[in-house]
Structure 1
Amino acid sequence: MSGPAKHAAQLTRMDAARRQTQHQLDLVDRQITRRMTALIPLLGRRQPGCRRGKAPACGAFLERYRANLAALTAERQSEVDALTRKLARQDAAITALRARHRPPPRPAEGGDGGSMAEGRS
């Protein structure tokens, strides 16, 4: 396998690994969303004030929702952090590989564009 073909294959493998990591991160996010969606009907049933002639607290449902979301997110936070760090490392490695194997820039036609004039005063 020649040099450019070897680098292209390596880049393809790295891109596939990055897509897999992103998929895992998206999967965790969907799982949290699914669990919160299942909890919504249970959160709305706690309205003891309505039965006694009082209006329900306006922000009570939202507070319960946020508290449950924070708890679910905290359970998976270490996994999310690890996947996020892995994704960042993969992005950096892919960028470095692309930069390392990018063809060198061609010199501009027509000279240096007057850089000598800048040095004279």
Structure 2
Amino acid sequence: MTIAPETLAQLSRMEEARRQIQRQLELIDRQIIRRATPLVPQQRRRQSLQRGETSGARMVLERYRATLAALTAERQPEIDALSRKLARQDQAIAAHHERQQIALSRAA
């Protein structure tokens, strides 16, 4: 027994919707990093004027991480909503695959 074309089309649409959500999450991640990255060179210039290179480098890293955390916190509701949607889509796709396996095994 073969899988009906409409079932394959539905699965294809579900998988494409999941890929779109994944791309949105990746885009948000890139946007956050892009906003935080310009701060690092500014800190390095200030650091070069001071002594204590290792402690300065550590301070730059800590500031970058703090900035990254703050920017992520701003977008957290959006990230959480997309993550929940992605999890629901994963469950729906898995259930769809399971139904197809059951249908194929009954037909055999």
Fold agreement, TM-score > 0.5: yes
Residue 55 of structure 1 is matched in structure 2 by 52
Q: State the TM-score, normalized to the length of structure 2.
A: 0.80
Query: 1:17, 1:80 → 2: CA distance?
Result: 16
Report the Cα distance in structure 2 between the residues aligned to 1:63 and 1:26, rounded to whole angstroms.
Answer: 23
More helix by share: 2
TM-score with structure 1 setting the length: 0.72
For the Cα contact (< 8 Å) 1:49–1:55, is it kept in 2?
no
Higher RCO (C-alpha 8 Å, min separation 6): 2
Q: Which runs of 5+ in 2 are unaligned?
A: none
Return the index of the structure with the highest Cα Rg: 1
Aligned equivalents of 2:86, 2:21: Cα separation in 1:
6
- With 37-46 and 91-100 compared, the bigger mean Cα shift is at 37-46
What's the % identity of the aligned pairs? Answer: 54
- The CA deviation string for residues 82-103 of structure 1, in whole angstroms up to 9 with x for no partner, is 1111111001000101111221
Q: Extract unaligned runs of 5+ from structure 1.
A: 108-121
**Structure 2 partner of 1:18:** 18
CA deviation after TM superposition for structure 1 residue 49, in Å: 7.8
Following TM superposition, by how much is the alpha carbon of 1:8 offset from its aligned partner in structure 2, in angstroms?
0.7
CA RMSD of aligned residues (A): 2.4
